[in-house]
Amino acid sequence: MATEGKKKHFGIDPKTREIVLGKWRMSLPNSPALRVLIGVLLVFGGVLGFLPILGFWMVPLGLLVLSHDIPSMRRRRRKLAVWWARWRSKPNSSGKS
């Protein structure tokens, strides 16, 4: 199978510089300034998510784009990813994983 090596996940693929949202992939520009501009515009558009066309979904996507270039945001994203993985692997009250 050709997609065997490509694991579905969420985040930024460091090898290809693509945002991965499950099966969807979107490449990021090579310019750090352009990536930061896109991230800021997404967050700003998400804050105005009550308006038509814009949506609150833009805030987390903008923060994800910004975390590629801003070290403090990158650390928070990694901590969140580790917490999420631990939380998902914890057995639930019935003893199942």
User: In the chain, where are the structural domains located?
Assistant: 9-89
Calculate the CA dihedral of residues 59, 61, 62, 64 and round it to 10 degrees.
120
The reported pLDDT for the residue numbered 43 is 93
Cα distances from 4 to residues 1, 8, 16, 39, 68, in angstroms, run 5, 10, 17, 31, 26
pLDDT tens profile 10-20: 777 878 888 88
Q: How far apart are CA 16 and CA 18, in angstroms?
A: 5
The reported pLDDT for the residue numbered 36 is 92
Task: Tell the residue number behind the tokens 């090898």, with chain if given.
Answer: 15
Q: How far apart are CA 10 and CA 12, in angstroms?
A: 7
The reported pLDDT for the residue numbered 19 is 84
Can you list the residues of the chain whose pLDDT is less than 50? 1-4
pTM: 0.70
With contact defined as beta carbons under 8 Å apart, do 41 and 65 qualify? Answer: no
